[in-house]
Amino acid sequence: MASQPSQQYAFRAQKRLGLVGGTPNYETLEAFQGPDVPARTYQYSSDGRLFAYAIPSCVRICQAESAQLVQELAIPNVAELSFSPRGTYLSIWERPAKLEDGAQHKNLKIFSVSTGEELIAFTQKSLEGWDLQYTISESHAVRLVSQEIQVFRPAEWSKGIVDKLKVEGASNIILSPGLNPSLAVFVPEKKGAPASVKVYNLTSLSGSPLSQKNFFKSDKATIKWNTLGTHVLVLTSTDVDQANKSYYGETGGLYLLSASGTFDCRVTLDKEGPVHDFAWSPNSKEFGVVYGYMPAKTMLFDQRAKSLHDFGTAFCNYISFNPQGRLIAVAGFGNLAGKVDIYDRRTLNKVTTVDASNTSHCEWSPDGRFLLTATLSPRLRVDNGIKIFHCSGPLMHVQPVEELYQASWRPTHVDAAPPFPATIPAAPASHASVSEHQAVAKPAAARPAGAYRPPGARGLEASMAYKREDDTPSPAGTPNGRYSRSPAPGRVQRRHVPGAPTSPSPVRNGAADAEKRGRKRKGPKEGKKEGAPAGDAPQPAIEIQVNGGGTLTPANGSVPPTPGVDPVMDPIAKKVRNLTKKLKAIDELKEKQKKGERLEATQLKKIETEAEIRKELEGLEIS
């Protein structure tokens, strides 16, 4: 029996490219000599035998286990690369460039891994959907070019296109896995015509589609086949939400189709909101969906879209089965907290909850026992690194990496990996990096309990005005349940002057205020008819606190005037005061002019008005 491959993972950062062995040592593969310049991308082959990476000058292909160099392709400026399912061919994509002779730049090239020979080249301007799609046996390869599906035989690249199909409006194709490959073709909605997904048999493209489904509200679609290639899930969506409920667009619906055409339906989702994620189980008989406004709901369905289990609601937007289909990870990443709930598929009970905050990438290990999480740039430029958790919860390994761009497990076929035990295995001892990480990690700040209050509502008086229970309506200070900066009703805010004697704040008379407001609305004449003159109204006596401790009550019941402020100023006196201020300002400008300071044109004009101001002032004083 061949030895089992190691649990290896790779990572790519701004200054490093490395291969690291798995549990229990997590040691860097010393035989692998990383490049001296930053790598642009890397890729494992589907069977895990080969590892290729691109640097500005060339592409290198190595043995993943021994790091021995297999091929070096002198192709500069490669942006993306990909292996065929069996690792026989390597596809590379360069950024399109204008050639001097005016010919089209064939930037998509296919190479033989064993010989390094270029087999065929194409022009591919768009990075989206750039690679050819191969059948699992590599007997056929397909690509979509200007609404035309082109089919090739990789064993005979020189013969070119062996079959083709023109589908009007086609924007996306997905080739199924399995021994009897099918091709799902998506046509978006256009000019009132509904969008559609058509499933063709790859060996007979010229025939009618095996299965077809039409639907509206669809600009694009996410298509996922099950492992056997017998059923396909199609999630439709639009770029613009007509209801303005989300700026991410609107989810049209989730549809299930069989490749044979015997079954198709819309998956019934009983919670309003978008579909965040969906995934097939490796057994091809069931799938999970995370959907609805937060907190989102997670459901498990069978291959006839019948619900099997409800995992409840939580703040999550990600679901993934481990390669053996035994465990299910349900998590909330992106702008969510990063909690990962792991469930046992047999018992449907929660095994553990893992805290993987700031995770950009999450992936099960080939043996289904470990979960790799990575914080990547440029989405997050701090705390970049890799964490590996055991399926029972403990943190196994931590590797901080500055400016980490890419991380992934080395693929291994499920039959080559050790079988998953009947019971959840116990976690091995954690690596020393975990204790080092915990020693330097900053403790998470404790969040105060209770509802959030805006800064303006956090004072002593404001807190009482905004205080309410969870299920009670908002108080009068917050109309319509919205935050308001207005003071509590019935209170008058007064400015406190340090050192000044304090006095009780006057209480507003609600009836008097209502009468004043009504008088303003009705007008002065109507107000005089209905009520007595203001001078005849009795005034309440007001007691004023004196520093000595006694009280003073005015004889006539009125409030004494504030010192330094005239209760009613004569209009002529007010005019005199303003003119006097202007003369004082002119005198100051003259003093500046005598000192040699340069005055502006407006200041000079102001000085010229001195005679007019003095003449007007003399006339007011005489009158």
State residue 443's pLDDT score: 61
Q: What is the pTM of this model?
A: 0.69
In tens, the pLDDT along 94-104 reads 988 888 887 88
Q: CA 171 to CA 128: how far, in whole Å?
A: 11
The pLDDT assigned to 470 comes to 43
Q: How far is CA 238 from the centre of its chain?
A: 18
Q: What is the pLDDT of residues 137-165, one digit of tens each?
A: 999 999 999 889 999 999 999 898 999 99
Residues linked to residue 387 through DSSP beta bridges, in sequence order: 373, 398
Question: Residues 140, 117: contact at Cβ < 8 Å?
Answer: no
Per-residue pLDDT, 473: 45
CB 121 within 8 A of CB 110: yes
Candidates 61, 97, 100, 98; CA nearest to 81 is 61
Measure the CA angle with vertex 450, ends 449 and 456; round to 5°: 115
Long-range contacts of 357-364 (CB under 8 A, 24+ apart): 358/383, 359/331, 359/333, 360/333, 361/407, 361/408, 362/318, 362/320, 362/329, 362/331, 362/333, 363/320, 363/408, 363/409, 364/320, 364/321, 364/322, 364/323, 364/327, 364/329, 364/409
Q: What is the pLDDT of residue 129?
A: 87
Percent pLDDT > 90 in the chain is 42
Count other C-beta atoms under 10 Å from residue 211's C-beta: 20
How do residues 36-69 score in pLDDT, each as one tens digit? 899 999 999 999 999 999 999 999 999 998 889 9
Distance CA 602, CA 310 (A): 78
Give 358-380 pLDDT, tens digit per residue: 999 999 999 999 999 999 998 88
Residue 210's SS3 state is coil
Beta-bridge mates of residue 397:
388
The rounded distance, in Å, linking the Cα atoms of 464 and 474 is 12
At residue 124, what are phi and psi to the nearest 5 degrees?
A: -135, 100
User: Of the ranges 344-348, 402-406, 453-457, 472-476, which one carries the lowest mean pLDDT score?
Assistant: 472-476
117-131, 222-236, 239-253, 573-587: lowest mean pLDDT where? 239-253
